C-alpha cells in the first residue's frame, strides 16, 4: 500500500444493514505508521467497527492488533484444488435420496430459515456486538440475494420432498477460478451426507462450466467442514486472522 492510497474502505452495505458505521482495513499487515493512518482515517470517518483480515504469519501485525484493541473473532483457512481430474460421472455418489437442483425463487423463504441457524462458527456470532437476530438476518439476506442472480452457482438439496440445504459460488471471469461462498444445511439433515453431496455437486457444476481451479474458505473452529473439504482433495492455501476493532464499546 502506498501513502497515497486510502488505508481503509468504507462499507456502505454493512453500515446500512447493521446500523453502525463499518469499514475494512485494506492491508493484511500492520506497521506502527500504517496503524496511525488507520486510526486517523477512522476518526475522520467516525467509524464504529473496523474489519481486519490479517496475515497470520507476521508477528508484528498480530502484536499490533492485539495491543490496540482489535478482537480476534475468527481464524480463516482457505483451501484450494485443481479440478482437471474431477469426473462428475465417476466421483462418489453416496447420498441416497438426496436430489440436487438449481435454486428457484420459491425456495428463498426456506433457504433464509436455514441461513438464520447455519453460521454459529462465523465471526459475527463470536462478536457479541452483533446480535443473534442481526447476524441471522445478515445471512438470510445474503442467501436471498444470491438466489436472485447475485452469484453464478446456486444449488439446493432436496430430501424427502423438502429443501434442506444450499450452496452458492462465483466464477472469476478473467482467471476462470471458482469461489465457494455460502453453504447451509437444515438442522434436521445435518450429518446425513447432504452437505457433502452439495459440495460435490458444486464441483460438478464448475467442471461443466470449464472452471479448472476452485478455492473455499472456512473457519479454523469448523473442524468437520475442514475434514470434509480435505477428503475431496483440497489443500491448504492460506491461514489468516479476522479481527474486529470497535471504537465505541
Global pTM value: 0.91
pLDDT higher than threshold 90 for residue 1: no
CB within 8 Å of 161: residues ≥ 6 apart: none
Which phi and psi angles does 247 have, rounded to 5°?
A: -95, -15
Instruction: Give the integer Cα–Cα distance in Å for 135 and 122.
Output: 9
pLDDT at 3: 59
Mean pLDDT of 129-144: 94
pLDDT higher than threshold 60 for residue 77: yes
Mean pLDDT of 135-150: 94
pLDDT higher than threshold 80 for residue 2: no
Mean pLDDT of 186-212: 93
pLDDT higher than threshold 80 for residue 176: yes
Mean pLDDT of the chain: 95
pLDDT higher than threshold 90 for residue 11: yes
Q: Which CATH number fits domain 80-237: 3.40.50.9100, 3.40.630.30, 3.10.350.10, 3.50.50.60?
A: 3.40.630.30
Amino acid at each position: 500500500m502506498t501513502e497515497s492510497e486510502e488505508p481503509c474502505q468504507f462499507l456502505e452495505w454493512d453500515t446500512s444493514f447493521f446500523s453502525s458505521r463499518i469499514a475494512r482495513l485494506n492491508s493484511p499487515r500492520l506497521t506502527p505508521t500504517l496503524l496511525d493512518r488507520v486510526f486517523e482515517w477512522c476518526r475522520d470517518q467516525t467509524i464504529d467497527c473496523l474489519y481486519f483480515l490479517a496475515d497470520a504469519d507476521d508477528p508484528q501485525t498480530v502484536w499490533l492488533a492485539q495491543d490496540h484493541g482489535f478482537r480476534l473473532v475468527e481464524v480463516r483457512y482457505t483451501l484450494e484444488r485443481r479440478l482437471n481430474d474431477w469426473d462428475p460421472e465417476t466421483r462418489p455418489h453416496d447420498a441416497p435420496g438426496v436430489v440436487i437442483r438449481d435454486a428457484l425463487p420459491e425456495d428463498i423463504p426456506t433457504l433464509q430459515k436455514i441461513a438464520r441457524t447455519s453460521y454459529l462458527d462465523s465471526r459475527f456470532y463470536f462478536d457479541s456486538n452483533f446480535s443473534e437476530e442481526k447476524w441471522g438476518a445478515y445471512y438470510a439476506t445474503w442467501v436471498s440475494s444470491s438466489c436472485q442472480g447475485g452469484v453464478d452457482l446456486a444449488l439446493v438439496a432436496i430430501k424427502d420432498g423438502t429443501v434442506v440445504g444450499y450452496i452458492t459460488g462465483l466464477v472469476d471471469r478473467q482467471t476462470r477460478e471458482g469461489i465457494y461462498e455460502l453453504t447451509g444445511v437444515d438442522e434436521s439433515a445435518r450429518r446425513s451426507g447432504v452437505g457433502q453431496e452439495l459440495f460435490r455437486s458444486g464441483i460438478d457444476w464448475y467442471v461443466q462450466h470449464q472452471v479448472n481451479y476452485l478455492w473455499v474458505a472456512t473457519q479454523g473452529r469448523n473442524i468437520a467442514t475442514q475434514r470434509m473439504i480435505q477428503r475431496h482433495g483440497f489443500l491448504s492455501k492460506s491461514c489468516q486472522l479476522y479481527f474486529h476493532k470497535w471504537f465505541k464499546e
